Amino acid sequence: MNAFARLKFFLCLLTIIMLYAGKLDAETLLDRTISLEVKSETLQKTLELISRQGEFYFSYNSNIVNSDSIVSVTAVDTKVKQVLLKLFNNSYEFSETGNYIIIKKVAAHSVTFSHTTVAKNDNYTITGFVIDDRTGRRLVNTSVYDKQRLVSTITNDSGYFSLRLNNKYPSAAITVSKQFYEDTTIIVQPGYNQQINIALIPVDTLPEITTVSPVPVNAGFTGSLGPAANIDSSRFIYTTRRIDSSLQQKTRLGEFFVSAAQRIQSLNIGKFIAEKPYQVSIIPGISTHGKLSGQVVNDVSFNLLGGYNAGVRIAELGILFNINRYNVQHAQLAGVFNITGGSVTGVQAAGIHNLVGKNVTGVQFAGINNLVKGSVQGVQASGIYNHSGGFVNGVQAAGICNYTRSGTKGVQAAGIANISDKELNGIQAAGVFNYTKKLHGLQVGLINIAGNSDGYSIGLINIVVRGYHKINISTNEVMPFNVAVKTGNNNLYSILIGGMDARPDKKLYSFGYGLGTEVGLGHFLTVNPEISCQYIYRGSWKYTNLLNKFSPQFNITLVRKVLTLTGGPVFNVYYSNQTNDVAGYKSAIAPAGYHLYDFHNSRLTGWIGWNVGVTVF
């Protein structure tokens, strides 16, 4: 064979191999041929035999396939799909994913028209029963509604419904929905009263996936096998998967103002949301959208007393209240309260209470309290209490208390207390109490507490858990015994001071407050500039005796974090309006022999003194 002939032979052989390989690649799992004979065997065992011959896996939901059922089948060089059709009835279908054949239930709804008559006026009525496709049980609290007209009803305790529609529309379609069942939409003929029986197929909400392997080892399956509900072609903008994702239905106000029928509707048809330009409502359920108002997002909503919507895109005004399942944009105003299950972007204002299930971006005002489960970006202001479950970036202002679960970047201002649970970047100002785990900014209050701090705390008691904690015992030219408790951080710490002179004829008692900061001068040496003011008790509370001190106190560390020697000069300014001495108490505070400074005021005296002591911790 010459070279040219050999080349032709090689090319033909290569072509045949490629065509054969392509044929093999194109062959589907369902087209593979098998042979088997099974008599009175379980379906599970039969599928295992097919799996081994076909060299693929089966996967199915054990809630919809009875693997213990007894089957018999004979097949000789028969395609896998044909064998499966013999094993399963027409209510099952088969698909392929990788090396898996998926067995699923066919979502086919059963609808029976039992009686039709011509309507005698502009309205016609659709009546009937809704039943469970598997059990035949009549289904109560099932939603039956027209998406175009936003007319709805729910089935009664007998599974019966009656829906009245208007003749002005040239076509009509009603949708039937129930929680844990697949939706179905039925086209009806306008102008005719009709009786319909509708069977709904249950959705297996807790699938138990069984995999049949061609080998003893179960390789597992990573695809999604859950049976899917048939979503009809109507436009929707939300799909809710949680059984009850509506925040407003879990609140006492929501339970009170939203009827049981409306709550059932939101459970049954949560995935259908319509869009309309406006809504006018008297109370929830009595509105231009009827009982389906909770399934409609409106551009504008006006509620004479109160209203219930899916959401608002431009503005909403409620004389008493507004309730929305999802988001509100631009403006929401109510005389008493607003409840929004989603987020608010814009302005939300209520006379008493605002509740938001997600986030607020903008401004939130309430006469009593604001509660946001997510974050706040902007301003949150109320007469009593503000709460944010997330992060606040902006301003929180309340008459009593502000609380932020994640942290605050900005300002917290309250009459009583501020709590920023994780951190604060900014200012906390409260009449009594401030708390944060990490302080990067300023705290101003009677009591300030921080986990750790690189900022400043100004108050009567400032505690930084991982900060500055010192107890100083000292003596000076006025008081032979003094104790000072210093708490805060190196940047700024507060000082609570107490002192006494217990000598019988020279008694003195003092208490006061001061501030200080620590500056390092070396490994064992620091200087602590401190300023303080102490009240001096000289036997009577009728007088004012104030001893003001400034001291650049020096500290020499003897034992690190245990013992420090302190001391230094002190500049004293003493104010007193006490003119009468009390027996047993010292009359002159300024010690004899010290140079006194004249401030041209008989009640003021100054001198330079000293202070020596030890600091522990």
Residue 67 burial (CB count, 10 A): 14
Residue 174 pLDDT class (50, 70, 90 cuts): confident
Contact yes or no for 263/249 (Cβ under 8 A): yes
Cα–Cα distance list, 220 to 210, 216, 459 (Å): 9, 12, 63
Cα–Cα distance list, 52 to 77, 93, 369 (Å): 15, 21, 67
DSSP classification of residue 46: H
| pLDDT over 50 (residue 225) | no
Question: What are 333-350's pLDDT values in tens digits?
Answer: 999 999 999 999 999 999
Judged by average pLDDT, the poorest of 195-209, 228-242, 247-261, 400-414 is 228-242
Judged by average pLDDT, the poorest of 162-176, 212-226, 444-458 is 212-226
CA dist 147 and 186 (Å) reads 12
CA dist 452 and 459 (Å) reads 16
Contact yes or no for 428/447 (Cβ under 8 A): no
Residue type, 248: Q
Q: How many helices (H) and strands (E) does the chain have?
A: 5, 46
- Over residues 125-150, the mean pLDDT reads 87
Place of tokens 């970036």: 393
Question: What are 45-61's pLDDT values in tens digits?
Answer: 899 899 888 888 888 77
Residue 9 pLDDT class (50, 70, 90 cuts): low
- Over residues 195-209, the mean pLDDT reads 71
| pLDDT over 80 (residue 237) | no
Which residues are CB-neighbours of 368 under 8 A, at least 6 positions away? 352, 353, 382, 383, 384, 385
Query: Which pLDDT belongs to residue 431?
Result: 95
Place of tokens 């049981």: 260
Place of tokens 């089966």: 58
Task: Tell me whether strands 447-453 and 508-516 are parallel, antiparallel or unpaired.
Answer: unpaired
Cα–Cα distance list, 520 to 162, 471, 516, 529, 556 (Å): 85, 19, 13, 11, 11
Indicate the average pLDDT of the chain. 84
DSSP classification of residue 30: G
Question: What are 314-323's pLDDT values in tens digits?
Answer: 999 999 999 9
| pLDDT over 50 (residue 212) | yes
CA dist 527 and 532 (Å) reads 16
Contact yes or no for 444/458 (Cβ under 8 A): yes
Residue of 300 and 190 predicted with greater confidence: 300
pTM listed for this prediction: 0.65
581, containing H or E segment: none
Q: Which of 415, 492, 397 is nearest to 450 (CA)?
A: 492
Query: Which pLDDT belongs to residue 209?
Result: 62
Query: Phi-psi category of 219—alpha, beta or left, where left has phi over 0 and alpha has psi -120 to 50?
Result: alpha
Residue type, 493: Y
Residue type, 310: A
CA dist 40 and 21 (Å) reads 39
CA dist 434 and 461 (Å) reads 11
CA dist 25 and 156 (Å) reads 56
Question: What are 55-94's pLDDT values in tens digits?
Answer: 888 887 776 778 888 989 999 999 999 999 888 877 788 8
For the chain, give percent helix, strand, coil, nearest 5. Answer: 10, 55, 35
- Over residues 423-442, the mean pLDDT reads 96
Tell me what percent of the residues of the chain surpass a pLDDT of 90: 52
- Beta-ladder partners of 291: none
Residue 544 burial (CB count, 10 A): 12
Contact yes or no for 375/393 (Cβ under 8 A): yes
Q: Identify the burial level of 130 via C-beta atoms within 10 angstroms of its C-beta, where 0-12 means exposed, 13-18 middle and 19 or more buried.
A: buried
Tokens of 150: 């936003």
Query: Which pLDDT belongs to residue 226?
Result: 27
Strand order in the sheet with 143-146: 151-154, 143-146, 172-177, 184-188
Residue 225 burial (CB count, 10 A): 18
Q: Cα 201 from chain centroid?
A: 34
Q: Cα 161 from chain centroid?
A: 38
Tokens of 294: 């909770």
Query: Which pLDDT belongs to residue 552?
Result: 94
Angle between helices 43-54 and 80-87 (to 10 degrees): 180
Residue of 498 and 231 predicted with greater confidence: 498
Residue 250 pLDDT class (50, 70, 90 cuts): low
CA dist 477 and 279 (Å) reads 81
- Over residues 446-459, the mean pLDDT reads 94
Judged by average pLDDT, the poorest of 112-126, 198-212, 293-307, 575-589 is 198-212
Provide Rg for the chain, Cα atoms: 41
Tokens of 458: 């100004």
128, containing H or E segment: strand 123-132
Place of tokens 């921080």: 450
Query: Which pLDDT belongs to residue 545?
Result: 95
| pLDDT over 50 (residue 236) | no
- Over residues 528-541, the mean pLDDT reads 95
Tell me what percent of the residues of the chain surpass a pLDDT of 70: 84
